[in-house]
Structure formats: C-alpha cells, structure tokens
Structure 1
C-alpha cells in the first residue's frame, strides 16, 4: 500500500522526467538524462505540498542556471490529471507544487478500506531481517538501559514487519564465560553465608540482594546437601538453578512490558555444538588469525580496526569476542539478509571489531547494523533517582512499569532518538494531563471513541466513506487532519528505513494535536446531516491511524480515560 501521498509523489516525478525530455526536444534545454532527484514534502507548509531539487541537479550536465532550468521544466511539464493548483520556482531553483486543498480527502476511503493494515508498505519485499535486543546477562534483574533497549527493539521489529520485512526477534542469553564463573562464585559465597559459614563474594561478582533471595530459594529446594559436595558440583547446581530462575524472571518482566521473542539463543550452545571451534577454523583458513604469546589472534587491523584482538587465550579458553563472532556467523547462516543489534553505549568500541569479523567471514559488513543506545536518567521531583527504594540498587524494569504503567514507559523510551541521552521524568509519565505526551495521544483516541458512543446513543452509525460527500470538509483544521492521515504510510516507510521509532512517536503526537485542535474548534455531530457524516468519516479515520501507530509502538489505544 503506497497511499495517496506516495502516489502523488510518483506521478510528479514521472511528469518531471517527461518534462526534461520535452524541454530537450523543443530546444528549451540541452538533451540530457535526468539525474536521481527527489520529490519531497517540504518542512515548511509555505513551500507547497511537494518540492523538487531537479533543476539544481541538472545545472551541471545542462550547463544552464538552475532557475532557468526550473522555468523550462515548468513550461514543459504536463500536469493533466494531477490535482496541482499552481507551481512556483523558489530560492536557487527549487520547484514547489501546490495541490488543491481537498486532494488529501481521497485518503479517507483508503483508510476505511484498509483498517488495521492502513500504513503498510512493501519496503522489505519479504526479505528476512533479525532484530536482537536486550540480551542482558541472566545473572540479575533488568535495568533502565535494558528497558529502553526492549522498547526500541520491539518497536523497530514491529515497524519493519509493517514495512514488508519478515522479522525475527531474538534474545542472546549470555550463559557462558567469565560472568557465569563469577556468578557461580557469588552464589556459593551466599550459600555458605546463609548457613553461617565464611564466604566472600568476589570483587567482580554479583552483590545484589536478589542473589541472596535466589540462594534462599535454592536452599528451600536442596537444603544443605551441597555443603558436602565438591566446589565444581556445588557451583554447577547453584548456577543451573539461578539461571533458570533469572531467565524466567526476565521473560516475565519482558512479557509484562509487551515484549515477546521468536528465539532465545544460548551462548553456551555455541560452545557445546562446536560452532566457536568451527568459526575459528574458518577464519584461519581465510588467513585472518595468527598465534602469538600462546594465544590465537584475529587480524582486525587488516579491516581498519585499531588493534588485533585475542580470540583464544593462552589458557585455551575462547574469549567472549570469539563467541560473538560465532554467533553472528550463525545469524547469517540462518539466512538473514539483514542483522540488527541494539547495544548500550558501553559497546561502542565493539562495533568496528564486529563488522571486521563479519567481513573476514565473507559476509557484507553493511548487512550488520548496530544501533548504539545512549543512557537513561530517571528523575522524580526534579532530582535524579539513583537507587531503587525496594532493593537499594538500580530501579528495575518491573518497578518502573509498576510506577508509571507499561504504556507511559514504552512511549517515553522511544520518543527520543536512540543516540540521544534520555531524561525520564517519572512525575510527568504518571501525570493524567495533556503535558504527558502518551496521555495526550491516548486521550485523542478516547475522545473519538466518546463521539461514537454519543452517536450510538442516538441510534446512529458511522457512514461508509464512499457514500459520503467528503467535499463538505473545507475547514483548514479538517484538511490539515486529513493531510496528516495521508502522510502515515510515508512515516512508516521513513521510520523503517531509518530504524527510527521516535519518528512514529512524534507523528502520533502531532496527529493527536491536530485532532484536539479540530475537536476544540468544531462539533462533529451537528444539525447538518451531510457535514456530520463527513466529519464522522474524518474522525473515524483518525481513530484508525492513531490505533495503528500506538500498536506499532507497543501501546494500547484506550476507548475511555
């Protein structure tokens, strides 16, 4: 589904290409091939409904001033059948197209017909894409960074799916390596302590109270049995129990946040299956590893990385980097043409290393897209919140959802670009007022539902768009609302292209603002039956688009507030 905006854009682009040829035939311009140019919606309304840079791009091959080229194009363009009211040349040679005010009303029947599918585009053409996000160590609770990653990843996956991609959501379980070793030592220390024995959590271990609660659960199941076994068996039993508990808690917290995965991938499986060993062998065959000081190294510098990286330590134990390379090889071997990772800011330096490894394995490094997500700061009462009241540690995802609700949390996490630091105002997120952006958007949807309840109370129903005289919609507020609705497929296309759910968050907020402005200025149900029908179609289409946008962001569309 392209929508009327994209259709108009394509028609204007075709007319412009034909105008170049016509101007060449008539000697108004040299005969040249049109370069790649854009027909875009200008940021400023005064610059028209569409604008093109074609004349400026033609200046060099045509050896003619851009404004003169623009004039020749305007003289030779055939706009028959297009809703163009006037054409103007602006600035250094932009051509601005002003369409008839009511051209946007054609979107309303489209929205009614498509319903939940309105806004779908076919950018992906069914190609397979994987989105991996959160992937927190299963050794503790999810924090604010994980929460932001969950909202971003899930929304990006939903938008890509709506844009025609075949999407798989994946969580990488870091259940191997040093962190698990330290986890076992930490659990063992708490196990001893709870029996009154000496035990010290290592400096690099896990010191949270949640670990103590986990070990208490282990003791309820096994008692003091593992006091009398060897350390390897004891730690293995503790880790197995704790990982299962923590992973269940992570899955529960994410499900409550509206996030579900298609695949939970275990890092340990890479060790057990021999995938790491096989990947290292492939890198060696391709000439990208060497031995030095007893360790195995990857020739990362050959790919522009600052220094080479250790793959296998002198002890014979593979590094986390080696496992990560094997994991990414596995992704591409599963047939994903595009692999998207969402990482925290502390992983910034890992990006070139990972792309280098992908290239060394013979895959396109550009097929690996990594979104670096900046930090979140929580505020309450104007002060930074550093600690959880409950645990004395960081505020968890579960505590955040409990305090502000899932919808507010998800919207706040995606309303800024991932590469922007996010200040999360807990008081604002809880506020039942128009100052709270998610309340503002959801209230717009609820307002429309209220109108329809009034309609039903009068024994009336929303008419079909095709049976209504939509030309009765003449007010600027009505046409602005219709135009915004028509823009929705283009917003989906751009949000998918840029992996930018904040664009969609901004769009639904702006759409809500236009609805509120219209609602405050005009009655929908009036004494004029034809006008009432047209306005009911307009607000019905608005309800559909708001609901579609909110759904893609993982938010509900309430009918009452």
Structure 2
C-alpha cells in the first residue's frame, strides 16, 4: 500500500495509519496476525508530555496473536510508522508501548481541523444505532423543585448532551408522579389554605401552597362554596397544572431540556397497569398469595418479592413502576437509564428485577445511577426560614451557569458541600469563571487581532507553531474527542469540566508567552501571527463546544 500521509492529525487518523502499517507488514511477511479494524486500535495522549504526542499499546494488543514478544512486534511497527509522512519519531518504551512524536506541521494542522469542523469537533458516531431513554429529576408536582432535584437536573441534562454527541438517539424523559394519595393531599392542602384552616395530616404547607390557593381563588371565587369533594378535586387538578408549569419553567431557566413529560396517572387511566400485571403473569413471574398479587423478583436478585396488587384490589406504586418500564420497552427504547436520588438505593435491585421479569437483560437493557446528596452554604441560606432551598432560589442567588458547572464538575456518587458565596465570585478561584474567562479572552484576542489586520484567511503555516506552550496546547485540544467519548461511556460529565479547566490553564499560559497581535504598529504581520490566530480560535471552539456539552454559556465578553 505504501506509507500513508498524515495531514490533520487526529487519533482516528493515527489509528488508520497504524492499520495501514500493520496491513503492509503482514503483506510483506514480517507479521502474521489478523489486523483489527482502525476503530479497535487505541491511540491516546501519554500522561507525560516528554513521551511524545501520542502513544499506542497496539504491540501488546496483538503480540499473542502474532506469536512474538510485544517489544519485538513494537519495533517492527515503529520502523514502518517512523516513515509515515508527518511522524517525526517513534520510540518503543517499556514492554512494547509506541510513543509517537509528530513534526510541528502535522501537530499544528489540528488547529485548522478544529476551526473548520466547528461545533462538530469532538462529536462522533460511536453510539450510533443505540436508542436510549434517559429519565431524571421526575419530581412530584406537589411543590417547587428543591436542592435535592438540582444535581440530577444538571448532570442528567449534561449526560443527554454527551450521549447525543456520541451519536446515540436519546430521549430525555421526566416521569410525573401525578397519581396516588399525595395528589389528594395536595388538593386538600390548597383548599384548607384557601379556607384558612389547618392542612390535613401529611399535607403540604409553604409559600407555594399559599400562592396556589390565592391564584385558584382568583380564578374560581366560588371554590369555597363547592362541596368538599368537588373543591378538592378542582384544587388538585388546577394546582397540579400550575405547579407543573412552574417546574417546567424552572428547568427551562436552568437550561434543562426534556423531550417527554410522562404522566404516571395516564398509566392507570389507560389500563396499562392492569395490562402490565397480565403481561408479567404470562412471563411466569406473577403469583397470588394472601389475596394479593405478587411479582417474584427474588428470582432475579431482589431482596424480597414485591406486591403488585394489594388485597383490597389497589395497585401499588411498584405496579406503576412495572407498567412504566414496559411502556419504555414498547416505545422502542432498548436501553433505559434511570437517574435516582440518594434515598433510592433500594430501587436498583427491584428495577433490574422488573427488566428481567419482562424478558430483558438487566445488565444491558437497564442502568440505574444513584446521585449523592448536596449541601450549599452561604449568607442567603442563613436568611431563610426553615431548611428548604428551591432551585428558583439558587438561580436567583447564584445563577444558572455557576450552579450547573459546580454540580457537573464532581462525580455523581460524591457528596457535595458547596459554598454559595464562593460560587458567585468572579475570580480565577471560581472554576466556571476561570473557564468562561478563557473563552472570553480568546474572543477578545480574535477581535483585537482583526483590528490590527491579522486575519486567518491570509495564511496558515502550522510548522511555525513550535513554541513549547503551543505543543502543550495542541496536545490538549487533540484530547477533547477522547474526553467526550469517555465521559459519555462512563456517564461522568465531570470529566469534561475538569478537561476544560486544564485547557483554560494551558491557554492562559500560551497567551502569556505567545503573541497573536504585532507588538507595535510598525511590526510586520507574518504567517506566525496568523497561524497563532488559528490556534487561538481553535481553543475558543473547543472551550465553547465543551461548555455547550455541560449546558453552560460561553460568553464572548466578561
């Protein structure tokens, strides 16, 4: 085939070059091995920059099949890979790792690739063909979203963006818990508040109930003249509509998007709960005992069997869970991801058991993620009455970007104790400000460079990007697609946030050491200035793309 050429170097192109080199070596009789597809050949950034621009464990990966020591195989591959145009050097390290260094021109071409690819840089099709239902938040429509919902709102929406960026067909779904006794108590609480009497035991009280009662009385002055059952039913329905609308608006203000708002009540009204019980009985996992109907979930790892229909004929909440799972299955979602709060650990086993009883593979068709609790301290909290802190309060006090970013930069399974006043600060000690400021600085650099007559279209010579900070910055930019893929696969949006902070730091260092604009009006504008503008704009694009995956804005001025 001949030695391949590398222009705009990405890990995928290096993997393709490795594939070509291996294929040629097999054809020449130097190796006897089945060459994997390029997508199966790993090319990664080395942890230590001194070890080159990229590294590969391909020799260790193929040594057994080739019937030769990994280091010997690596040396054979290195000899051929070193002749690839754009590769400056290939060294064999340790038991057989390949450390690959590119020449400056090949490394610098990445800047043009990023700018020309634009918003699509970092996206891929690795998850194409996968249909995923992603359920998160799923709050009761009996009150505003509180701090406990906030973490999954941020992380769930970021995960939706990441999975979509990797080619998956994702439906973000909010399960509305609008059935059951809590809704009756909700309606009764509104009526009691309107009457000025005590709310029923287990009912709801608070400023939001006061507002709902006031609004309902304004709409229906005859509310208190109606029979109790009628007034409660009216308050339940209208209160539900108003509260759900407020939840939807709050999530929109938090930049959280849902494709589907699924009503639990619709499962009961359409007969889907009874249908689910019948379908599970056909699967052979339903049995009757003591007048109740049970699902034998212990067959699939649950700690005890679960009641579906009580002895009095009333379906349990678990029966709704079963009907809801089957609904997702019927709607074509082969993968169901549930994002649940810290108090839902017990749900993991029962949800996986539902999947197994329905005939699915609980290791492939369902995934349950548990988020830990958070606490936000600060002056605003000290001025509040009681312990409730709603998402609307957080947005007013701190702002959507700092709240989202701060929640997304930590793993979901780590408890958080954040300082609200610190999150409000516009300083480099505040991670979201640090990253957003880097983006705004790239925009300012481009704006001022244009005023000085430095334009990308007038020239680009990537071989001029030889400063040490430029090599480091290019290496970081090239790592973005891998970070996106890994964050999606591991369900860990915090990897993107931490990457952006590292990238911002590398950019600030480059900004301090390398000039995009001429120092004086007399200085001649050269391709070095223009090439650095390409690198500046490539950094801006990656920062914007990464912040977009987190649902955080990328301001042009700060």
Normalised by the length of structure 2, the TM-score is 0.90
Q: Do structure 1's residue 5 and structure 2's residue 3 form an aligned pair?
A: no
Runs of 4+ in 1 over 6 A off after TM superposition: 34-37
Offset of residue 441 of structure 1: 0.8
Counterpart of 1:368?
Answer: 366
Instruction: Indicate the larger mover: 50-59 or 146-155.
Output: 50-59
For residues 1-150 of structure 1, the aligned pairs below 5 Å read: 4-14=9-19, 17-18=22-23, 21=26, 25-26=29-30, 31=32, 33=34, 38-57=42-61, 65-71=69-75, 73-74=77-78, 77-150=80-153
* Equivalent-residue separation in structure 2 for 1:322 and 1:118 (angstroms): 44
Instruction: Indicate the larger mover: 332-341 or 40-49.
Output: 40-49
1:494 counterpart (482, 486, 489): 486
2:390 counterpart (396, 415, 426): 396
Counterpart of 1:216?
Answer: 214
Please say if residues 55 and 69 of structure 1, whose CA atoms lie closer than 8 Å, have aligned partners that are also in contact: yes
Distance 1:78 1:552, change over 3 A: closer
Q: Do structure 1's residue 260 and structure 2's residue 264 form an aligned pair?
A: no
Counterpart of 2:405?
Answer: 411
Distance 1:174 1:99, change over 3 A: same
What is the SS of the residue equivalent to 1:464? helix
* Equivalent-residue separation in structure 2 for 1:318 and 1:356 (angstroms): 18
Offset of residue 11 of structure 1: 2.7
Distance 1:445 1:62, change over 3 A: closer
Distance 1:74 1:446, change over 3 A: closer
Please say if residues 454 and 517 of structure 2, whose CA atoms lie closer than 8 Å, have aligned partners that are also in contact: no
Offset of residue 188 of structure 1: 4.3
What is the SS of the residue equivalent to 1:511? helix
Q: Do structure 1's residue 443 and structure 2's residue 433 form an aligned pair?
A: no
* Equivalent-residue separation in structure 2 for 1:93 and 1:469 (angstroms): 34
Cα distance per residue 1:374-424 (max 9 Å; x no partner): 11111227xxx8x57445332111111111111111111101111222222
Counterpart of 1:201?
Answer: 200
Distance 1:545 1:57, change over 3 A: closer
Counterpart of 1:514?
Answer: 506
* Equivalent-residue separation in structure 1 for 2:48 and 2:450 (angstroms): 40
* Equivalent-residue separation in structure 1 for 2:466 and 2:451 (angstroms): 28
Please say if residues 15 and 78 of structure 1, whose CA atoms lie closer than 8 Å, have aligned partners that are also in contact: no
Name the count of aligned residue pairs: 543
For residues 147-186 of structure 1, the aligned pairs below 5 Å read: 147-186=150-189
* Equivalent-residue separation in structure 1 for 2:188 and 2:365 (angstroms): 39
Gaps of 5+ in 1: none
Normalised by the length of structure 1, the TM-score is 0.89
* Equivalent-residue separation in structure 1 for 2:61 and 2:42 (angstroms): 10
For residues 287-366 of structure 1, the aligned pairs below 5 Å read: 287-365=284-362, 366=364
Cα distance per residue 1:315-363 (max 9 Å; x no partner): 2111111111211211121122322221111112201211211121123
Distance 1:9 1:425, change over 3 A: farther
What is the CA RMSD across the aligned residues, in angstroms?
2.6
Offset of residue 20 of structure 1: 7.3
Q: Do structure 1's residue 462 and structure 2's residue 455 form an aligned pair?
A: yes
Please say if residues 104 and 486 of structure 1, whose CA atoms lie closer than 8 Å, have aligned partners that are also in contact: no
* Equivalent-residue separation in structure 2 for 1:180 and 1:13 (angstroms): 62
Q: Do structure 1's residue 473 and structure 2's residue 468 form an aligned pair?
A: no
What is the SS of the residue equivalent to 2:134? strand
Counterpart of 2:417?
Answer: 423
Offset of residue 125 of structure 1: 2.0
Cα distance per residue 1:519-543 (max 9 Å; x no partner): 1222210234122111111111211
Offset of residue 58 of structure 1: 5.2
* Equivalent-residue separation in structure 2 for 1:355 and 1:339 (angstroms): 10
Offset of residue 62 of structure 1: 6.3
What is the SS of the residue equivalent to 1:394? coil
Cα distance per residue 1:447-473 (max 9 Å; x no partner): 122223323434x353238x3222221
* Equivalent-residue separation in structure 1 for 2:133 and 2:61 (angstroms): 37
Distance 1:263 1:175, change over 3 A: same
Please say if residues 52 and 94 of structure 1, whose CA atoms lie closer than 8 Å, have aligned partners that are also in contact: yes
Please say if residues 174 and 261 of structure 2, whose CA atoms lie closer than 8 Å, have aligned partners that are also in contact: yes
Please say if residues 388 and 395 of structure 1, whose CA atoms lie closer than 8 Å, have aligned partners that are also in contact: no
What is the SS of the residue equivalent to 1:435? coil
What is the SS of the residue equivalent to 2:203? coil
Cα distance per residue 1:6-50 (max 9 Å; x no partner): 224413541564487479x45xx7x55568764332223233333
Offset of residue 272 of structure 1: 0.5
Offset of residue 185 of structure 1: 4.1
What is the SS of the residue equivalent to 1:130? strand
* Equivalent-residue separation in structure 1 for 2:461 and 2:10 (angstroms): 21
Distance 1:61 1:319, change over 3 A: same
